[in-house]
Structure 1
Amino acid sequence: MDSSPIYFLPQDTLHQIFSNLPLREIIRCRSVCKFFNQTLTSPSFIHLISTQPPSLRLLSLRPPHHHHHSRHVSSDATLHAFDPDQNQWLRFPLTFLPFHSPQPVASSLGLVYLWADSPDSTKTLVACNPLTRQFRVLPQLGSAWSRHGSVLVGPPNRVLVLSELAALYFSGSTNNWVNFSSNLPSKPRSPILVSDSCVLALCDVGSPWRSQWKLFSCTLSSLQSSQSWSRLEKHEWGDVFDILKRPRLVRGIGNRVLMIGGLRSSFSLNASCSTILILRLDLDTMEWDEAGRMPTQMFRCFQESSKFKVFGGGNRVCFSAKRVGRLVLWDYSEIVGKGEWRWIDGVPGSGDGLCRGFAFDPRLTALP
């Protein structure tokens, strides 16, 4: 290898050659040898590719809940992510983090945010770039926030930890958490950050005997108000929230939101579901439309499970359920105007098959 002609090429030439590769190939080349790794992690190469748009959009898994109680640094601490374009699983080692039990929960602009146990056994959020192995520790939080709070992240270095009673907000410019009270009627379900400033969440405003889901919103700038959350509703929407069983939200493309749940066969209390329905809300026009519904043959596998999980973002959504053993991917094409449904096999790890996750766009240039 020492006599290979590639060693004699000027550095600028090497950088130009490698900069034309897709990001997934750059990641692979870094593991070929020490010379490639030094070349592809050098500041000059990182600067060269910083102007290129992100080319890799992945769907990453969160670790199972039973890993939360581990008190040791895991030797196989890894972020598992699926590449829908190449139909393959990728591994991003997290062993460079000097923390116990890293638990990835969210991502934004190439950074992964995860809960970690600090040396004094308290929980803290960490922002890291698995590609460059750089990380930043955010101010510590209590363990209750990691158990009950939902983590929302957006640029630039904005983090929101949301619960029913309060919201913690962190900004890279202030470098500390600000606590705001919340006026939500119940625990927020699948809250999402839209357009980097608007937060949406579903809340149950029904009775103990029958759920009634409604959509609530607030802006990051209005969090200081005691009445920051408002209900989003229009008379024209009709029974859009009643036709779905256990709905949840996923951020769509641009100013659009996906609401996903089981399609009720009737409005009776214990009505069965005929399939899983994806509705799409355009926040500019405030109109709903149907984006897709799971094929009947696929839904039969989910019908036997008491619950299912949904994660993803943009035009790609993953579905998991207990004892199914694999994932379902909904991949919507704006050009074709419809979504493709397909199975994802080879899910890493073992367990009951109930996977959780988030969308991850790796970037070599992302700085914690």
Structure 2
Amino acid sequence: MDASPIYRLPQDILHQIFSNLPLRQIILCRSVCKFLDQTLTSPSFIHIISTQPPLHLLALRPSHHHHHRHVSPNPTIHVFDPDQHQWLRLPLNFLPFPCPQPVASSLGIVYLWADLPDSNKSLVACNPLTRQYRVLPQLGSAWSRHGSVLVGSPNRVLVLTELAALYYSGSNNNWLKFSSNLPSKPRSPILVSDSVLALCDIGSPWRSQWKLFTCTLTALQSSHAWTRLEKHEWGDVFDILKRPRLVKGIGNRILMIGGLKSSFSLNASCSTILILRLNLETLEWDEAGRMPPEMFRCFQESSKFKVFGGGNRVCFSAKRVGRLALWDYSSESGKGEWRWIDSVPVVLCDLLEDNASNLSLEENYNPIARAS
């Protein structure tokens, strides 16, 4: 049988045809066959589509424990496109490292912990579409186990723990180490422009008391870089939420999310999940959204739920829920809308069931950005 006519088309014609597709369709076409995969990942084609607008994708990765329990010969990042309500797969088989573990992403670059040949750990920055990657200077295994990885603009990475912080800017190709001096282990730290924000528990072993701390990247060299961000007008804003955590919002806004306590008692139950929004310029809070009662009933039986996201979209997962809840503030109505993501791929269902998933949102995923 004669080969398909598509194989006889000149490469420039193929590039012209496929360059008219949206990026999400180009990603899907790469999975059709080896021929299209090679055609749509060639440097010349990547250059042609480099001006296409970015995507906003929700990326899901297994936890470190689950990742090593089920080693896959073809590691993949599963991403969800909220605009098309569609799942996509971004293969990582171009990386020459065993068990790469994605931990963060920014502007189309995905950052992973990888095992190097000398049994050491290092962060790797890669672009799943162009298949380019760069290995950052080596770090000890303790940083990969206990450090939170924060990324901003290209070549700016921060690994943060309670006691110390490592900063990499790419200018001198090494890590700068500074003392953190935080009062407790930082919860859900985020990087907003040149500022790092984190929640810290300054309470007692019997009762948590969460406060918001911040520092600038330029102030990291100071032994007293962190300051408590608070105003008298805020009142009990930190006391009304159970297990609060931070998520990066749009521009200079951050989101604080947790269970809304029904009372101020020690073991108070929650009536719903509340999303508060802080404007870092005016230092004023407002309510961005609260989960509808019929949706929250699915989360009531779980003692813990996971929050992940960024920008104007936030997702929630919990044990035995089996699907994701999405808060979407990107609609033209000017208010957040709630909906279920119940088309989770079968391969990911066990992650949601045992609550072992660790998820993040690509706030502005431009898969054309370079990793070098």
One fold, TM greater than 0.5? yes
Measure the CA separation in 1 of the matches of 2:48 and 2:87.
27
Q: What amino acid maps onto 2:207 in structure 1?
A: R
Pick the aligned partner of 2:359 from 327, 335, 357. Answer: 357
**Distance in 1 (alpha carbons) for counterparts of 2:8 and 2:251:** 45
Q: Is the 8 A contact 1:74 1:100 kept in 2?
A: no
Instruction: Tell me if structure 2 keeps the 8 A contact 1:308–1:354.
Output: no
Which residue matches 2:65?
66
Task: Please give the per-residue CA displacement for 1:149-203, whole angstroms capped at 9, x wherever unaligned.
Answer: 10001112111000000000111222111100012110000000112x1111000
Tell me the alpha carbon deviations over residues 50-78 of structure 1, each in whole angstroms, 9 at most, x when there is no partner: 23321x211111212323545x9631311
| 1:119-174 CA-partner distances (Å, limit 9, x unpaired) | 23222111111112221111111111111110001112111000000000111222
User: Kindly tell me: are residues 295 and 342 of structure 1, through their superposed partners in 2, closer, same or farther at Cα, counting changes over 3 Å?
Assistant: same
- 1:31-59 CA-to-partner distances (Å, cap 9, x unmatched) read 445554444333333223223321x2111
**Corresponding residue to 2:144 among 146, 164, 182:** 146
The alignment partner of 2:297 has SS state of: helix
- For 1:354 and 1:10, the matched residues in 2 are separated by 44
What is the CA–CA distance in structure 2 between the aligned matches of 1:324 and 1:354, rounded to whole Å? 13
For 2:300, the equivalent position in structure 1 comes to 303
2:73 corresponds to: 75
Q: Which residue of 2 aligns with 1:88?
A: 86
Partner of 1:52: 52
Deviation at 1:285? Answer: 1.4
Among residues 208, 224, 228, which one is paired with 2:225 in the alignment?
Answer: 228
Alignment of 1:1-368 (within 5 A): 2=3, 4=5, 7-8=8-9, 11=12, 14-33=14-33, 35-54=35-54, 56-67=55-66, 69=68, 74-195=72-193, 197-333=194-330, 335-347=332-344, 348-349=347-348, 350-351=350-351, 352-360=354-362, 361-368=365-372
TM-score, normalized by length of structure 2? 0.92
Contact 2:122–2:135 under 8 Å retained in 1: yes
In structure 2, give the amino acid aligned to 1:260.
I
Q: Sort the Cα spacing of 1:304 and 1:20 in 2 relative to 1 into closer, same or farther, 3 A.
A: same
- How far apart are 1:104 and its partner, in Å? 0.6
Change (3 A) 1:10 1:301: closer
Amino acid at match of 2:239: D
> Deviation at 1:2?
5.0
Report the secondary structure of 1:101's partner residue: coil
Identity of aligned residues (%): 77
| 1:10 positional shift | 7.4
* Shift in Å, 1:6: 8.3
The answer (yes or no) to whether the contact 1:320–1:354 under 8 Å persists in 2 is: no
Distance 1:251 1:85 in 2: 20
Return the letter of the residue paired with 1:161.
V
TM-score norm. by structure 1 comes to: 0.93
1:109 and 1:366 in contact (8 A); partners too:
no
The AA in structure 1 aligned to 2:358 is R
Aligned equivalents of 1:87 and 1:281: distance in 2?
29
For the 8 Å contact 1:159–1:169, the answer to whether it is kept is yes
Distance in 1, Cα, partners of 2:132 & 2:112: 13
Match for 1:4: what amino acid? P
Query: Offset at 1:80?
Result: 1.2
Structure 1 residue 243 displacement after superposition: 0.6
1:82·1:89 contact (CA, 8 Å) conserved in 2? yes
Residue by residue over 1:184-241, the C-alpha shift from the partner in whole angstroms, topping out at 9 and shown as x without a partner, is: 110000000112x111100011111111111111111111111111111111111111
Could you list the runs of 5+ residues in structure 2 that have no partner in the other structure?
none
Pairwise CA RMSD: 2.0
In the TM superposition, residue 333 of structure 1 has moved relative to its aligned partner by 2.7
Rounded Cα–Cα distance in structure 1 between residues aligned with 2:216 and 2:14: 46
**Matching residue's letter, 1:41:** T
- Kept in 2, the 8 Å contact 1:247–1:260? The answer is yes
Kept in 2, the 8 Å contact 1:325–1:353? The answer is no
How many residue pairs get aligned? The number is 364
